[in-house]
Amino acid sequence: MEYINSIFSYDPASPMIFTRFFFWGFFAVVLLGYSLISNKITLRSLYLLVLSLFFYYKSSGFFFFLIIFSTFVDFYIGKWIYASEKVNTRRLLLALSVFVNLLLLSYFKYTFFFTEAINEMFGTNFVAKDYLSEFTNLLTGSHFDTAKIFLPVGISFFTFQTMSYTLDIFNRKLEPVKSIIDFGFYVSFFPQLVAGPIVRAKEFIPQIYKKFELSRYEFGLALFMILKGLMKKIMIGDYIAVNFVDRVFANPDMYTGFESMMAMIGYSLQVYVDFSGYTDIAIGVALLMGFRLSQNFNSPYKAKNCGEFWSRWHISLSSWLKDYLYIPLGGNRNATKGTWINFALILGVFILLASNKWATIAIIAFAVIIILLMRFFPSAKKNIIANINLMITMLFGGLWHGSSWNFLIWGGLNGLGIVVYKYWRKISPWEKYNNVIATIWKITITLGFITLTRVFFRAPDIKIATTMLKRMFNNFSVEFVPQIITAYYKVWLMMLFGFVTHWLSYNFKDKWRDRFINLPHWSQAIVSAIIIFIVYQSICADMQAFIYFQF
């Protein structure tokens, strides 16, 4: 009886994640039932909706009601927007959808963040309290801590997903879904629910109404993607995290500058294999059920500049921000009201977070300089506006990831990297060269910059981030390097394996992928069993949650 209760109850210490055996038992049950109803469209959607909500319940407890709430709100608002012929009515409904979604996201993600900032800025003593958790405790007998707000996993992903639906309907790019069951299935589809990729309605919803199809090649591809994802996540990402990266970031003062540098490089690899590994598994699991999810990564560490990196990394988020924020702001063409509203909002956030008179003066002075430059140098106005729109987009992209100075700095540095490159390429002596040496140089510089910015992404606060950077630049001594290399040689070998396989040519990797896909099923089963055995033998601690679960 206790075992049955554990199956149907939520355990915050053991959430449902792809790397746990419980998930694969769950997925086996899903496939068993799915095989009986795969071509009964309505029943199939209802079946996957219910099981997806169960999956989310096992990941976030009773907060799966948030998805139900978002589903109802955006389903009916979408229908009303499409039915209305009055532009002002449609705009009002769209504003309502965006307001509700952002209010939901802001409550869970930014309440304590802005409360603390306001208290520091104005000397107030406001106390944030999680009233939703308090209500849940009263209703269900749960014991959520109301002194802090529990962040439901994946809330940023499904919020952006439902917002894109109403935005596309408003722009007449999409017709509303007729059935709330189908829409609920689209919002909650479990493979990509908690860490993406962010699925666009216009790409996914048409698949709901198609009959199940899975070719032999696609079956092999799905299996290959799942195995590749597990190898990335467990064998590479978790291994270097547990055995090196997490230790250094936890106590940077205890390590040398060389170890700090290697921890930053290791984290760049870890966050890639962790997140892209999740995406690979999500794509493979979805494909086994006949649904095609979009590519989310395209060998980002082959990028030769910061702009190219962001066209290869977390593609679903980058393209979402471009289509629904950067372009509506005016892109590289002009400024809109939204540009100046968001510019003022961003400056206001920085002033609140700075909580310092001189920092406030500096921020206001910066804004005045920007305005004066556009006023007296009309020829530069277009570039300045494009850069402002770009920086707004990247700063909001950083804030999407988390509510802290660290994420704002990280987003701002990446935006600055893109802006600087736009000017650097005009004078760079390397830009016209694309030979092997020049390519290696460009990739190295780009990866180095991305790795340095990632210290703010990984560190829990600015103090840890600045300590890591100081240790690297001020305590870099070659004296202990041989001992460090010897002590962590297994970690270095795993990092080398990860980067080398990443940098292999597309043709080489595609050839080995296709070889696996074209194997007889019995051979695929043997290879899969061997890989799974090796992968799970590499586990040296409890299962590590995927990094992007916190977003």
**pLDDT grade for 136, boundaries at 50, 70 and 90:** low
Contacts of residue 303, defined as CB under 8 A and 6 or more positions apart, other chains included, come to 309, 311, 312, 313, 443, 446, 447
pLDDT for residue 327: 87
The rounded distance, in Å, linking the Cα atoms of 397 and 146 is 28
Q: Which residue has the higher pLDDT, 16 or 452?
A: 452
What is the chain's alpha carbon radius of gyration, rounded to the nearest angstrom?
Answer: 24
Whether the pLDDT of residue 13 is over 80: the answer is no
Residue 496 has a pLDDT of: 94
* Percent of all residues in the chain with a pLDDT value above 90, rounded to a whole number: 29
Query: Distance between CA 113 and CA 106 in Å, rounded?
Result: 10
Bigger pLDDT: 357 or 184? 184
pLDDT the model gives residue 140: 62
Interatomic CA distance for residues 421 and 428, integer angstroms: 9
Section 145-169 average pLDDT: 81
Does the pLDDT of residue 108 top 70, yes or no? yes
Residue type present at position 52: S
The alpha carbon of 311 is separated from its chain's Cα centroid by a whole number of angstroms, namely 14
pLDDT digits (tens, 9 = 90+) for 94-105: 999 989 888 888
Which of the given ranges, 53-62, 224-233, 331-340, has the highest pLDDT on average?
Answer: 224-233
DSSP one-letter string for 393-436: HHHHHHHHH-SSHHHHHHHHHHHHHHHHHHHHHHH-SSTT--SH
Residue 543 has pLDDT above 80, yes or no: no
In whole numbers, what is the pLDDT of the chain averaged over residues? 84
42-52 pLDDT per residue, tens: 899 999 999 99
Task: Give the pLDDT confidence score for residue 109 in this predicted structure.
Answer: 78
Which residue, chain included where needed, has tokens 């086996």? 28
pLDDT at 49: 92
Mind giving me the DSSP string for 516-531? Answer: HHTS-HHHHHHHHHHH
- Segment among 162-171, 312-321, 373-382, 412-421 with least mean pLDDT: 373-382
Report the 10 Å Cβ neighbour count for 378.
Answer: 8
Span 116-128, average pLDDT: 70
Q: Does the pLDDT of residue 550 top 80, yes or no?
A: no
In the predicted structure, residue 124 carries a pLDDT above the cut 90? no
pLDDT value at position 404? 78
When pLDDT is averaged across residues 16-34 and rounded to a whole number, the result is: 85
Is 488 within 8 Å of 240 (Cβ atoms)? no
Say what percent of the chain tops pLDDT 70.
Answer: 89
pLDDT digits (tens, 9 = 90+) for 78-92: 999 998 888 888 899
For residue 540, is pLDDT > 70?
Answer: no
pLDDT for 121 equals 66
What is the rounded average pLDDT of the residues 229-244? 90
Give tens-digit pLDDT for 361-399: 888 888 888 888 877 777 777 788 888 888 889 988 888
User: pLDDT tens digits for 467-516?
Assistant: 888 888 877 777 778 888 888 888 999 999 999 999 999 999 999 999 99
